[in-house]
Chain A
């Protein structure tokens, strides 16, 4: 076994998912203790350019597989290749973002290699030579620590925005190694036949700022001021389940226990009471602002700043003020 750390770089249409660079950053920190190299694994079609980016973000080595069979993320070819690379190079750790694709690939690779995969980690730290991961359980109401005491490589998926994104350094150098896929197209039963991108598609999990609306917005048109504020802040739009269930906004926007888990720098909750199931999805946000006309709403227990009043007055005023201040 080596002391190397593998990081899977997830890309969609050539765009790298935020948590991949965060994972490179985490790997760099861990390699200071482990002493091995940070190896980025990039799979896709027409993705050569990303190898240089991976090195700039902190990779020492890049395994690059560029092939039509890898154009879309599919579990079978990606797992086969990742597991084979791990067998050949024997890394100590494999890290990736806990995105939809990462949460499929990590555990499948772990099964292939008969090792452990710790899900959705929010912190990683060496204690007495053992890597200890912290992860939320019970919808974030509790935390636990997990280890993979014996088996190697140990696999960890990292929650979006839980680890700082490193600053790229274009002067860094590294080695790029071309690798070939393991499976041929005829060996891959799943075929991707279409993709419908989410319109207005800021991805909630990656967003630095989220403006969310709840039942208090009163109807589908009530999301207009929310969207306007979001546009001003280049933010994503979130929603409570009450607003989603009422049919005012699609499920894709729901934050909470049965929706997305988010952790932005700023979360602005408008007309949301702050039910425990909503909190489950947003309580780790760095700064929470609540705008609600009920001073007793539980959201004010969680928020750092609150405005007690009508969202239809304060949300547009806030957007106006920000336009002035941010020059947008």
Chain B
């Protein structure tokens, strides 16, 4: 069984972000890390491999510049087998339409992929659109918001997944190959081991270009994109400090609070 995990790098979730007038975002000396949601995808791939008695291969891929290596390295350190970076200067400015095209072309090139795992969204631009788009392009079963893989039968080529929707859990049976978008709660991601970190440092990370994956230059980068992002800015700040309500008694305090909430027309 060949499992692919798609991942990208992001600033650390605790980073203090600033944005200048030109819309350039910076995160001070906070590190660039693997997109935190993707750790669930890597962990799930490793759990499946373990369940199959090692009878599976886990390849992690990322479309991105040099910095994308951080995400690949973390996945290898956790236990993935191989990391491939997909990059070409003509990929610059890709929206999800173009990014999903590149990822789908890379997966197609591999030819033998049974399962493609994703995190729910990337914590920076957070569209959450890539998994379903890759599935739709490849014609793989589109299983997003998966909180549990209840059954995986590589021989029968089927998967049963539980998906968390607003109203509850939907159980879906679908054929392989499939795309699985993981969410928190599906597992508890492991920490990289010392041996894993050494392996990740020494590993080779091949780079596949547009030509390598047979991508049509008209379908990648800004030219191949539908969406343009035009401005990045800080949200208006909140008033500052709460109005603290404090009266003689508990009853009086909550009475004042209820008065205020009624005046605000929120209850």
Binding site for B on A (CB under 8 A): 12, 17, 72, 75-76, 79, 99-101, 103-104, 106-108, 110-112, 114-120, 132, 136-151, 154, 189-198, 201, 203, 205-206, 208-209, 233, 251-252, 254, 257-259, 265-266, 276-277, 283, 286-290, 295, 300-309, 313-314, 317-318, 320-322, 325-326
A309 to B123, CA, bound (A): 34
* Known A144-B230, A325-B262; further 5 A-B contacts with Cβ < 8 A: A108-B132, A108-B136, A233-B267, A305-B244, A306-B244
A147 to B238, CA, bound (A): 27
A262, chain B: closest CB distance, angstroms = 12
A266 to B124, CA, bound (A): 27
Q: Which residue of A lies closest to B14 (CB)?
A: A276
Does B155 count as interface, using CB distance less than 8 angstroms? no
Do residues B132 and A104 form an inter-chain contact, with CB atoms below 8 A?
A: yes
B8, chain A: closest CB distance, angstroms = 14
Do residues B97 and A115 form an inter-chain contact, with CB atoms below 8 A?
A: yes
Does B251 count as interface, using CB distance less than 8 angstroms? yes
Contact partner of B242 (CB less than 8 A), chosen from A118, A286, A306, A320, is A306
Contact partner of A305 (CB less than 8 A), chosen from B23, B95, B126, B243, is B243
Q: B244-255 interface mask toward A, CB cutoff 8 Å, 1 = contact, 0 = none?
A: 111000110111
A322 to B250, CA, bound (A): 14
Binding site for A on B (CB under 8 A): 11, 13-14, 17, 19, 23, 25, 36-37, 95-97, 100, 123-129, 132-133, 135-137, 141-145, 147, 160, 163-175, 184-185, 225-235, 238-246, 250-251, 253-255, 257-258, 260-262, 264, 266-267
A305 to B257, CA, bound (A): 8
B233, chain A: closest CB distance, angstroms = 6
Do residues A117 and B227 form an inter-chain contact, with CB atoms below 8 A?
A: yes
Do residues A142 and B227 form an inter-chain contact, with CB atoms below 8 A?
A: no
Do residues A101 and B267 form an inter-chain contact, with CB atoms below 8 A?
A: no
Do residues B243 and A304 form an inter-chain contact, with CB atoms below 8 A?
A: yes
A194 to B168, CA, bound (A): 11
Contact partner of A317 (CB less than 8 A), chosen from B37, B232, B251, is B251
Do residues B258 and A189 form an inter-chain contact, with CB atoms below 8 A?
A: no
Q: Cβ of A116: which chain B residues have Cβ within 8 Å of it?
A: 95, 97, 225-227
B82, chain A: closest CB distance, angstroms = 27
Do residues A119 and B132 form an inter-chain contact, with CB atoms below 8 A?
A: no
Contact partner of B174 (CB less than 8 A), chosen from A115, A191, A254, is A191
Q: Which residue of B lies closest to A98 (CB)?
A: B128
Q: Cβ of B240: which chain A residues have Cβ within 8 Å of it?
A: 301
